Structure 1
Amino acid sequence: MDFMAQNYRPGYTYQDFAHQFTAEFYDPDKWVQIFKAAGAKYVVLTSKHHEGYTLWPSKTSWNWNAMDIGPKRDLAKAVRKEGLKFGAYHSWMEFFNPLFLVDQNSSFKSQEFIKAKTRPELEELINEYKPELIWSDGDWMANDTYWNSTDFLAWLYNESPVKDTVVVNDRWGKDTACKHGGYYTCTDRYDPGVLQPFKWENAMSLDRSSWGFRRDAQLDDYITTKELITQLVQTVSCGGNLLINIGPTADGRINLLFEERLRQFGSWLEMNGEAIYSSKPWKHQNDTITRDVWYTSKGKDVYSISLKWPLNNELQLGALDSKIVDKIELLGVSDPLTFKAKNNGTVVVFPVLTPDTNLQFAYVLKIKTKIMDPCHDFYDYVCGKFGTRADIPDDMISFGVLESSIGGWPLVPNTGFNDQTYDRFEALSLVIANFALSSIIEVGVQPDIRNNTKNILYLGSAPDLSLEWKRRRSRRNHTRLVVPIVPNMLDKSMESESMDELKLIHIRFNYDDNCIVTDVQYFRELPQILLKTPNRVIANFLGFSVVQALSDYTIEAFRELDFELQKSLTGITKPPEYWKLCVELVDGLMSFAISRKYIEHNFNLRTKRKVNGENTKGENTADNGGLRTAFKAYKMCNQYKEEPKRLPQVSQYTPDQLFFISYATLWCDNIRPEALESVFQTDEHSPPKARVNALCYCLEFGSSRQRKPNPAKESTTRSPLN
């Protein structure tokens, strides 16, 4: 205020400054050259700030735009050159607009400003200049309902000319920052310093105190090139982008000091950019021993970025296990560096350099590792050398975890069956748990008819083993069992062995629990039957049950054999049409999803909202949805957010990582090339490797590739099965 009083006439307004904005030296080509030299990949132009002045001749901002007053030219057209992505900053509010002040005085219950000014202005900006990024701001005074931002975003993503390419930030109302958006900016100069579970941007300014150009700024008011590179390294290591603000002069120039900072910044990126561009966060963001060391990764390569040259030319990296290191290079230096193990880390010996070296500001080590990034090939990461260690028997097309886990199958030679060590109860438990097969005991859950707000366990005898009957039934549709409830069925007549057998279903219950039983006599006699039956018979029965249950999902040649069996059993003369079989299987296994799709296509929106389901397409989508649901259920188990205990021998993994590793381990397999080719051509399921790698586990191993939260802080140095 004192400055205005001393230097300007009384009553001088903000609008009076517009005449001083001349931009006579504005050269957009020169600007773009500087931005390219700085290593920029996208440019965001302030199309309108909080005062309402637009840099283009907006129809909604008459006499308050760069064409009508000030430069007398359109300043928005020439920025998008040289392959740079073009973005537009736009402020929702306008401090001096009378319509905005009316809405503000009504506590934002009226929306005159939105209807007459901001919304049509935004659509005009997008239709005319087609920005690929909308940097929204000026939203903090009102909720998103006042700005009507959800309706605008619906138009942007569904009808606008940039609907297929546009990206937006998170400032769409005072309640949306760091919650909703294509990426998050959260606050100005947002720099969390730790890995975030979302894509984010650090929007900062070269001027420590201002987002514009200040004529009275001192040298110390500007951040140094070293500080700018430090900001970049910390931001990218934690999964963010860096947006650097510069304030041009009123005559259209970029201040020479700003240009120097940007060009030095770009020179560093020219040498070290591979550690920045298209990189992903590593399992550690900064080092566990040495300060000012940050990490990024790309495939099998890890980049260690030291913000200081190490004392005595030796850099100790506590986060890097030397056993996984193949080679280390210092970017900008031709010869590889020597390194040695120290405790669980690595010591890297830096070279002796001449004074005229171009290395400065920050020093990047490119570390070539012996292991694969879990996000690059999660199957190889988990299964490792399983394929080379698991020999395929001569009469088998493949040998996987299934054969080795159920204790062997006597009917098929060379599968490891040992009559002396075979554990029938463990094998039966595995078949029930992993395949939901009712080979000896049928287990299910259905609503309790006495209280439909609860479910009740039911137990049944083994169903008919006819393949035709098994094909027609849905293993998940248990409403066919209409039986009376038998309270306290575990009475004195079903003690000892019966209880031991029922433990196979891994459900804890006591004598006060109720369940439905379809055949009490069966459970009374089952223990003695199992004890009298040889291990070989039980093992063959379980192995055949697994094959029988999965027969509909196998390759065409196997289904043809199945048809020959059905032909002899039932007298059918031709196999069912394949599409009918597919519909039957999908309807049986995903009945809720099928119902959801039917309702979406045949009922109005109000009716649709009564249905809760997920649109699942194909077996890969089913894998994805099932795994996500299982992971959510697993996370809900730790409702008190207690730190889980690490398992011995695999303590280097977090529990979240072990969850995904255990899933991937199920699919470890060694399959003959000929059989694999047949799978590619005829099988409705992806090969095991594809089933594992089609799903994303990246955040659990310290990567930002996926948006889901809970990034793990540690990873591994070798395959769990190596």
Structure 2
Amino acid sequence: MQIDRRTLVKAGSAALTVGMSGNWSHAAASESGQYAAALSTELAAIDNISVSGPYRAEWPSLQTHPMPDWFRDAKFGIFIHWGVYSVPAFANEWYSRNMYVPESEAFKHHVATYGPQSKFGYKDFIPKFKAEKFNAAGWVDLFARAGARYIVPVAEHCDGFAMYASRLTPWNVANMGPKRDTLGELETQIRARGLKFGLSSHRAEHTWWYNEGTRYDSDVRDPRYRGIYGPAQPMTLPADRERIKGEPNSDHLERWLPPTKGFLDDWLGRSGELMTRYKPDLMYFDWWINQTAFEPYLRRFASAFYNQAAALKTGTVISYKMEAFAPNAGLLTIERGKLDTLRLGAWQTETSVSIKSWGYAENDVYRTATSLLCDLVDIVSKNGNLLLNVGPKADGTIPAEASSVLIEMGEWLKTNGEAIYGSRPWVLYGEGETTTGAAEKKEVANQAFSSSDIRFTTKGETLYAIGLAYAGGNRMLIKTLYAGTPYLKGRIAAVELLGTSKPTVWRQTPNGLSVELPERVALPYVLRIRTA
């Protein structure tokens, strides 16, 4: 059944002028009939699309949605954390929350630098977020030069400030700060380059994000600003807070209050307007959606998202963390962590070129290109993709440290990309002594690999063996490829080192494939192996 394309864009269109009104107070935004009508229109559009296509809002139906080939072929994408939090640029992108948490370093820094939170709150950074040097074409040129095949800007972080022209809140980048739809500009440039366009929503965490600011005199308590700070819901009921005080794991997620129906409806409405307005190829949701209350809303959104794609004849991806989705109903994403084995289904690691923060922060530490390329190889060998984050400055410029790393990665991919793009995992992901762990936030930044660590990818009849470190001299031994190995369909006929025209000397022995490299090229180094 085809969807009327007018349905995809009509949601909230009548309310666009309301959403863009600079005089729209919080009372008008969140409590007036205008907001209610706009939200109702968005939700109606979602539910209409949800039942107007091949996918139903049920996990068994959603699990039939195939992972598109473009994603499996892309392997490498760019994540962008950019927002108001890049103005203070202190510690990390959680500044908007931590500045209201007494005894935190961000709280102390804020008071010392800007004054008390009752006089200068997070909202007061918005006019300083001008993005005066932002150039969408320049960004996309850099990311394309890095070798990325898809780009995922954060549409709304947990701070509640929409980085797009939202119909449901005046607290957005087109109405305040830069007063430009920066996300729309990025979309235009990304699609013009033939790259895939994704969006990230961290809205789910907003339900409790500013709760600490309600416990003392701060601007979070001012009803005029509930449009950005609300609902600032307590994490636990006061009685529960007293009862569990001092217990181990007293901040465990299950003890936190579930979001209200009003918040969940707003979450779905905002997700829906991103879907219908920008039609992203990939939709990324951050971790808080794994709360039970979100489950029916996730199914409603996913069925609409997949049905819209079916109508537009595009392949789409929904990225989730932990166990928020049923297996194979979306894309499993692991934050700053990897898998220690090959996974049959596609998956994704998200990490950042900066070590301390996802958004721009002064005095951050940056990864090396070699370490990120080794991670990319390790991930791809296990059937995954790497989504690498960059945090631009408030003025819209990319930090020089990040740019240089991306350019170096792109140069490596020009030479060795045939072993990455469009590849598929081999029967074994690799061999070696280094373990990478298999958990969220367990990555080792700039992890050192040994000369025994080799990863495999394949494309057609070609096998690629990728070394993650050099041994003494230029010799290597690939134990898996010993004479008579059952993993190869035929005998080895040729071995070539990518990046050089010099011949590679090799010999297949009972102990493995012995290779003498003609020279040292940039790590990781790639051997192209052909069989006869």
TM-score surpassing 0.5? yes
Pair 251,99 (structure 1): closer, same or farther in 2 beyond 3 Å: closer
State whether residues 422 and 459 of structure 2, in contact with CA within 8 Å, keep that contact through their aligned partners in structure 1. Answer: yes
Offset, 1:45? 0.7
Deviation for aligned residue 1:190: 2.7
The equivalent residue for 1:340 is 507
- Superposed, 1:85-104 pairs within 5 Å as 85-93=196-204, 94=206, 95-96=209-210, 100-101=231-232
For each residue in 1:467-518, what CA deviation from the matched residue of structure 2 results, as whole angstroms up to 9, or x when unmatched?
A: xxxxxxxxxxxxxxxxxxxxxxxxxxxxxxxxxxxxxxxxxxxxxxxxxxxx
For each residue in 1:534-575, what CA deviation from the matched residue of structure 2 results, as whole angstroms up to 9, or x when unmatched? xxxxxxxxxxxxxxxxxxxxxxxxxxxxxxxxxxxxxxxxxx
Q: Which residue of 2 aligns with 1:366?
A: 528
Q: Which amino acid aligns with 2:472?
A: L
CA contact (8 A) 1:92 1:138 kept: no
Q: How do 1:301-316 and structure 2 match up within 5 A?
A: 301-316=462-477
The partner residue of 2:418 within 248, 271, 274 is 274
Distance 1:148 1:169 in 2: 15
From 118, 129, 132, give the equivalent of 2:267. Answer: 118
Deviation at 1:193, TM superposition (A): 2.7
Runs of 4+ in 1 over 3 A off after TM superposition: 96-107, 144-147, 159-164, 177-181
Aligned to 2:494: 327
Structure 1 pair 366/322, CA: closer, same or farther in 2 (3 Å)? Answer: farther
Contact 1:58–1:65 under 8 Å retained in 2: yes
The structure 1 residue matched to 2:366, chosen from 222, 242, 263, is: 222
Higher relative contact order, structure no. (Cα contacts within 8 Å, ≥ 6 residues apart)? 2
Alpha-carbon offset, residue 288 of structure 1: 5.3
Shift of 1:157: 1.9
Gapped regions of structure 2 (runs ≥ 5): 1-106, 211-227, 238-256, 434-450, 485-490
* 1:317–1:346 Cα contact (<8 Å) kept: yes
Q: Residue 210 of structure 1 aligns with which residue?
A: 357
Give the residue type in structure 1 aligned to 2:348: E
Q: CA deviation at 1:264?
A: 0.3
Count of residues paired in the alignment: 357
Residues 105, 112 of structure 1: CA spacing in aligned structure 2 closer, same or farther, 3 A cutoff? farther
SS in 2 for 1:346: strand
Per the alignment, do residues 352 and 202 of structure 1 end up closer, same or farther by CA in structure 2, a change over 3 Å counting? closer
Output the TM-score relative to the length of structure 1: 0.47
Partner of 1:16: 124
Listed as ranges, the matches of 1:287-306 within 5 Å are 287=431, 291-306=452-467
2:305 paired residue number: 156
C-alpha RMSD over aligned residues: 2.3
In 2, Cα distance between equivalents of 1:130 and 1:345: 50
Correspondence 1:183 to 2:331: yes
CA contact (8 A) 1:89 1:136 kept: yes
Query: Counterpart of 1:67 in structure 2: which amino acid?
Result: A
Q: Which amino acid aligns with 2:331?
A: Y
1:78 is displaced (CA, Å) by: 2.4
Q: Is the 8 A contact 1:114 1:147 kept in 2?
A: no
Question: Which residue of the partner structure matches residue 134 of structure 1?
Answer: 283
Instruction: Say if 2:347 is the partner of 1:200.
Output: yes
Per the normalisation by structure 2, the TM-score is 0.63
> Partner amino acid for 2:199?
A
Closer, same or farther in 2 for the Cα pair 1:109/1:227, shift >3 Å?
closer
Partner SS, residue 277 of structure 1: coil
Task: Name the CA distance, whole Å, in 1 between partners of 2:302 and 2:432.
Answer: 43
1:261 Cα deviation (Å)?
A: 0.2
Would you say 1:239 and 2:387 are equivalent positions?
no
Counterpart contact for 2:291–2:324, Cα < 8 Å: no
Aligned to 1:581: none
- 1:345-424 maps to which residues of 2 (within 5 A)? 345-352=512-519, 359-370=521-532
**1:249 is matched with which residue?**
393
- 1:562-604 C-alpha deviation (Å, 9 max, x unpaired): xxxxxxxxxxxxxxxxxxxxxxxxxxxxxxxxxxxxxxxxxxx
Aligned to 2:244: none
Aligned 1:279-678 pairs, distance under 5 A:
279-287=423-431, 291-322=452-483, 324-352=491-519, 359-370=521-532
Identify the match of residue 25 of structure 1 among 112, 133, 139.
Answer: 133
Q: Does 1:38 align with 2:146?
A: yes
The answer to whether the Cα contact below 8 Å between 2:160 and 2:229 also exists between their aligned partners in 1 is no
3-state SS, counterpart of residue 305 of structure 2: helix
Equivalence for 1:108: 258
**2: CA distance between counterparts of 1:146 and 1:350?**
53
Amino acid at match of 1:306: G
Q: What is the deviation of 1:312? A: 2.4
Q: Indicate the structure (1 or 2) with the bigger Cα radius of gyration.
A: 1
CA contact (8 A) 1:183 1:199 kept: yes
Q: Displacement of 1:317 after TM fit?
A: 0.8
> By how many angstroms is 1:281 displaced?
1.3
Q: Give the secondary structure class of the aligned counterpart of 1:303.
A: strand
Contact 1:109/1:146 (8 A) holds in 2: no
Q: How far, CA to CA, are the matches of 1:28 and 1:68 in structure 2?
A: 18
Deviation at 1:308, TM superposition (A): 2.2
- 1:69 and 2:176 matched: yes
